[in-house]
Amino acid sequence: MTKRLYYDQPALLEFDSVVEEVIAPTGEEARHSLTLRESAFYPTSGGQVHDTGWLMLDGDRVRVSEVAETEDGRVVHYLEPSALTRTAEGGHPYAGMAVHGSIDPERRRDHMQQHTGQHVLSAAFIELYQMPTVSFHMGDDYCSLDLATASLSPEQVVGAEKRSNEIIFEDRPVRIRYVSRAEAEKLGLRKLPPAERDELRLIEVADFDLSACGGTHVNATGQIGSVLLRKTEKTRQGIRVEFVCGGRAVRMARRDYGALTEAAALFSAQLWDVPNQIRKSFEDLKAARKEKEDALEQLAGAMAAAALKDAPEADGRRIIVRSFADHDTSFAKLFAQKATRMGVPAIALVASTMDPPGLVFAQSPGGTADMGALLKQVLSSVGGRGGGSRDFAQGGISAGCDAEQLLKQAAGTIGS
């Protein structure tokens, strides 16, 4: 097992050790990796993601890009392939070689802020609403925890955030201690680990939270900075709460502010007036859409009346043939319906050549032709799709089709 220096010295960012094993790349894993006698690098575990940093190996500064733990408790340091080439060529590294490790301080500080923030937030949800945390996830942008609860109100979100920030502002000490499992059971931990371990590492936020955890934490809650709760969503188990702490909270707020500022500028409005402006725009859009629909209906009616007047008559009905290049198929449909319902027996053979092009065939109710059959017949020659009833049929044609030719063909069929 690797001795884990971060257990007792979570602020330790530089350490000396000795290489224990060099693991050569395999088919599945292209990177070299190393285990050390002791390490301050945190491996991904318990919801917290791994550290990154550097190893000094006989004058070569090698990047550690990932750190994982094995089932038997060893910490594996994965080395960036490009960084290792030179070292490997020189016969390095080797077991027994002295090594100096450096942890990326910014990344570690960020993880400690998020992770300790999670302890405080989970405890606040218990204290205020008796909602236990069942899992924790740390991503690159935000963190989340899953609460075992059926519902969570916006007021409860604000309540837990407020209580957590109080604990942060009070700058309470965060202590590490070790107890036996039997002792731990008596202490009333927020969460007991499932593993059968004799000794448990406890993290205590003074007079607020006590839980077993192997992660890295700040040594006083003030270093968390602040906690900001964001999205909540239902999951199978309960409710997921997204949150960010410390530097991440500032970055997220900065990004939100940027987006909101851009939106406000589009409306020439104040930031807090943006939702109102959006609501107003939606209403305006809805009204404009309705006006457009009414205008199109009137236009279709007027065009249909004019077309009906000029249409030739055959077998006691007017035949209107019309192709629209600047109106879509739904307008063609409107036009055909209007033209065949003006009290004069009529057939309307209409096309739209706008993308996607289409055909609409309609006749006045009770007419003797069969629009569905006529459309099918015309479409069969060009492989289009569509159909309908005796009085109304509609279909689509491919962009390369000559719609006007198809209309002529249909008119010819009716006339014959």
CB of 172 to Zn ion, least distance (A): 15
Cβ nearer to Zn ion, comparing 67 with 307: 67
Cβ nearer to Zn ion, comparing 213 with 379: 213
Per-residue binding string, Zn ion, 59-88, x by CB under 5 A, is ------------------------------
Strand partners, 45: 48
Candidate ranges 213-221, 237-245, 280-288, 370-378; the one touching Zn ion (CB under 5 A): 213-221
CA 217 centroid distance within chain: 28
CB of 116 to Zn ion, least distance (A): 7
Cβ nearer to Zn ion, comparing 83 with 212: 212
Candidate ranges 10-18, 134-142, 211-219, 258-266; the one touching Zn ion (CB under 5 A): 211-219
Residues 6+ apart with CB under 8 A from 226: 165, 168, 245, 246, 249
Candidate ranges 54-62, 210-218, 273-281, 337-345; the one touching Zn ion (CB under 5 A): 210-218
CB of 213 to Zn ion, least distance (A): 3
CB of 214 to Zn ion, least distance (A): 7
What is the residue-wise DSSP string for 211-226?
A: EE--S---SBGGGG--
How far is 252 from 112, CA to CA, in rounded Å?
A: 18
**SS3 label, residue 276:** helix
Instruction: Please select the residue that binds Zn ion; options are 34, 79, 213, 362, rule is CB under 5 A.
Output: 213
Query: Applying CB under 5 A, does 215 fall inside the site for Zn ion?
Result: yes
Cβ nearer to Zn ion, comparing 209 with 242: 209
Residue 198 tokens, joined? 């004799």
Cβ nearer to Zn ion, comparing 244 with 360: 244
Candidate ranges 9-17, 214-222, 301-309, 402-410; the one touching Zn ion (CB under 5 A): 214-222
Query: Are 138 and 47 in contact, with CB atoms under 8 Å apart?
Result: yes
Q: Which of 141, 145, 161, 142 is nearest to 153 (CA)?
A: 161
Candidate ranges 95-103, 175-183, 208-216, 370-378; the one touching Zn ion (CB under 5 A): 208-216
Query: Applying CB under 5 A, does 386 fall inside the site for Zn ion?
Result: no
* β-pair type (199-205, 358-363): unpaired
Cβ nearer to Zn ion, comparing 118 with 165: 118
Sign of CA dihedral 344, 349, 353, 357: positive
For 339-364, b/e burial (b = at least 16 CB within 10 A) is: bbeeeebbbbbbbbbeeebbbbbbbb
Place of tokens 């220096």: 5
The single-letter DSSP state of residue 193 is -
Number of residues that bind Zn ion (CB under 5 A): 2
Residue nearest to Zn ion (CB): 213
* β-pair type (98-103, 38-39): unpaired
Find the helix packing angle between 105-129 and 246-267, rounded to 10°. 80
CB of 139 to Zn ion, least distance (A): 16
Residues 6+ apart with CB under 8 A from 306: none
Query: Applying CB under 5 A, does 367 fall inside the site for Zn ion?
Result: no
Cβ nearer to Zn ion, comparing 189 with 213: 213
Which residues are at the interface with Zn ion (CB under 5 A)? 213, 215
